[in-house]
């Protein structure tokens, strides 16, 4: 059971557990004196947390920021840190205010994007690669996207835009 030894000792002293000493054979058949506890009494004791909630508010904040950086949702952070949703919502807002972002890309997504637009290591580089790869034209409120190679000449870009406009039936 996930009950700390100290919790058992305190519960015995408080009269919440009533251990019995009995003579029983152990796993090798040797008869020994053993302490036996009532399972019903044990189940009423507080259990040890596998992922303890940090006592220090700064530690809770740091753990939440780490999880947000990994792309965890508020729901996932609440579950992992065992903290109130309102507290985690506030920490998420602090993280955003401190420069965090709502969209965190996994390594697989970074790799997939790099195949399409070229390698990048920062958000700014990603935006630059996307801008190099896509050229947009707006026709009557509708966005027309023309895909061009990153190293395309101005003439090739203009040709791609014209072809996209023709496909869209622009005047």
Q: Please state the domain extents for the chain.
A: 5-43, 57-97, 107-168
Reported confidence tier of residue 90, pLDDT bands at 50, 70, 90: very high
For residue 133, what pLDDT is reported?
67
Where in 30-139 does DSSP place strands (E)? 31-36, 134-139
Residues 38-79 pLDDT 10s: 888 877 777 665 555 566 778 889 999 988 887 788 898 998
User: What is the average pLDDT score of the chain?
Assistant: 78
Question: Model's pTM, two decimal places?
Answer: 0.37
Ramachandran category for residue 140: left, alpha or beta (phi over 0 → left; psi -120 to 50 → alpha): left
Biggest distance spanned by C-alpha atoms of the chain:
97
Which CA distances in Å does 140 have to 114, 160, 170? 32, 19, 9
Most confident of 60-69, 98-107, 110-119, 136-145: 60-69
- Return the SS3 of 71: coil
For residue 85, what pLDDT is reported?
92
């Amino acid at each position: 059971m996930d009950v700390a030894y100290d919790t058992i000792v305190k519960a015995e002293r408080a009269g919440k557990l009533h251990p019995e000493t009995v003579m029983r054979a152990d796993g090798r058949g040797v008869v020994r004196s053993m302490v036996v506890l009532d399972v019903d009494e044990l189940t009423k004791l507080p259990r040890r947390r596998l992922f303890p909630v940090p006592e220090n508010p700064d530690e809770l904040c740091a753990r939440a920021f780490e999880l947000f950086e990994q792309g965890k949702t508020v729901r996932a952070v609440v579950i992992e840190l065992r903290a109130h949703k309102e507290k985690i919502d506030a920490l998420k807002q602090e993280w955003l205010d401190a420069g965090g972002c709502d969209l965190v890309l996994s390594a697989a997504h970074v790799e997939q994007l790099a195949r399409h637009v070229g390698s990048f290591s920062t958000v700014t580089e990603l935006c630059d690669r996307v801008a190099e790869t896509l050229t947009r034209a707006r026709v009557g409120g509708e966005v027309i996207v023309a895909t061009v190679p990153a190293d395309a000449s101005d003439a090739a870009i203009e040709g791609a835009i014209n072809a996209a406009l023709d496909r869209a039936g622009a005047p």
